Amino acid sequence: MSEPIYMSKEGILKLEAELKRLKFEERPKLVAEIKRAREMGDLSENAEYHAAKEAQVHLERRIAELHEKLTRARAIDTDKIADDKAYLFARVLVRDRDRGSEIEYTLAPPEEADVDNDVISVKSPIGAALLGKSEGDVVEIKVPAGILTYEIIRISRE
């Protein structure tokens, strides 16, 4: 059996919603598009047909990936995670000691990471460095751009 994937209940619901949308909305649209393109005649030079078939391959791959993740997903009750350290789903306010700026990250499983909203994977360099640390700890993090030195200011759940 494959290794479980630990996620929030909300994260699992989000994956389930995406899978449902892909299977029951996007797939039928693509099938109709392929059928329409096929009716245009010669498939060897039918760009619309080939584009639709390629889109179908990507769609089916994503559906299979979501299905596989959901079979391995295990819900974590985030209310039962201690908030004394930077654990999964903790919000961690850090101060960059070199720049003086502050940023708040939320630590999440890789499947729930959203870098645009500062929700980072616990497997990313920053997430892995913060995981298990406490308020007041100073961490040095090796990133592609060099070394970041962060001080943990606050850890919260909300």
Q: pLDDT tens digits for 29-47?
A: 999 998 888 888 777 778 8
CATH fold of 5-76 reads: Helix Hairpins (1.10.287)
Q: Which two tokens stand for residue 84?
A: 């004394």
Task: Examine the pLDDT at 63 and tell me if it is beyond 90.
Answer: yes
Q: pLDDT tens digits for 114-156?
A: 989 999 999 999 999 999 999 999 999 998 889 999 999 999 8
| Structural contact between residues 139 and 152, judged by C-beta atoms closer than 8 angstroms | yes
Instruction: Give the residue extent of every domain in the chain.
Output: 5-76, 78-156
Among 3.40.50.1000, 3.40.50.620, 3.30.70.270, 3.10.50.30, what is the CATH number of 78-156? 3.10.50.30
Q: What is the pLDDT of residue 17?
A: 96
Q: What is the pLDDT of residue 141?
A: 94
Burial 51-68 (b: 16+ CB within 10 A, else e): ebbeebeebeeebeebee
State if pTM tops 0.95: no
